[in-house]
Amino acid sequence: MPQIEVPIQAGNNEVLANMRREYTREEYRALIHKIRAIMPDAAIHGDIIVGFPGETDAQFQDTYDILEELQLDKIHLARYSPRPGTVSARKMEDDVPEDEKRRRFQLLEEQQKRTALDKNNRFWGTVQEVLVEDMHKGRWRGRNPHNKLIFFDDPRDLRGQLVNVRITWAGPWSMSGEAVDKPVAAEPVLAVESIPLAVF
């Protein structure tokens, strides 16, 4: 499945150091370019924490800018809150106001909505292999190899089946279409050991 999770958490080197991350924004950028050179069709997912202790407007802007540049398929967003037992909770002051955390969160959410829509629009008119998960509000839903959520209508019981679906609509968070052939039972997938990617 051409989907890769590549956590980033922040796009500013000082914030990354405060988070005790052992990479820089430049190294993260280089890794994303390397993945795309090897797997041009890969869907890359990341994650971001806004409002980490001490994060300034300028440091947040670095995060915004690198996400605008790299155009990841999906970003898991979170506002920082102290977690018991962590270094940040013990040694750092939660000094970014909650309203500022919300503002930064919303800016990244709006940015990612635009990026995700642009990414999903490339699937218009294509036929996607969809592994059907379940019925939701009267429609079948499942995911393609890029882990994109796809809805379609069909009177048959298709749970757990592989169905080719022609995409007729795309939004930022999901797509929809119509089944174009007979479903095929999905082959069971054996669990495999996770192999860490040599990052830098």
Locate the domains of the chain by residue range.
3-121, 127-185
Start-to-end CA distance of the chain, whole Å, equals 23
Mean pLDDT of the chain: 90
Average pLDDT value for residue range 40-63 = 97
- CATH code of the domain made up of 127-185: 2.40.50.140
Instruction: Please compute Rg for the chain using Cα positions.
Output: 20
Q: What is the mean pLDDT of residues 18-47?
A: 96
Give me the amino acid identity at 120: N
For the stretch 75-115, pLDDT in tens is 999 999 987 767 777 778 899 999 999 999 999 999 999 99
Q: Is the pLDDT assigned to residue 190 strictly greater than 50?
A: no
Query: Could you tell me if 148 and 126 are in contact, meaning their C-beta atoms sit under 8 angstroms apart?
Result: no
With contact defined as beta carbons under 8 Å apart, do 75 and 43 qualify? no
The closest alpha carbon to 66, from 119, 28, 21, 113, belongs to: 28
Instruction: Give the tokens for residue 146.
Output: 């890029």
Whole-number pLDDT of residue 188: 54
pLDDT in tens, 138-186: 999 999 999 999 999 999 999 999 999 999 999 999 999 999 976 666 6
The 10 Å Cβ neighbour count of residue 192 is: 6
Q: Residue 161 CB: number of other CB atoms within 10 A? A: 19
Write down the architecture of domain 3-121 according to CATH: 2-Layer Sandwich (3.30)
Both structure tokens of 47: 């994650």
Confidence (pLDDT) at 199: 44
Predicted confidence (pLDDT) at residue 127 exceeds the cutoff of 80: yes
E strands within the chain? 3-5, 43-50, 74-79, 127-136, 139-143, 149-153, 161-170, 175-179, 184-185
Question: Does residue 194 have a pLDDT over 50?
Answer: no
Q: pTM (2 decimals)? A: 0.84
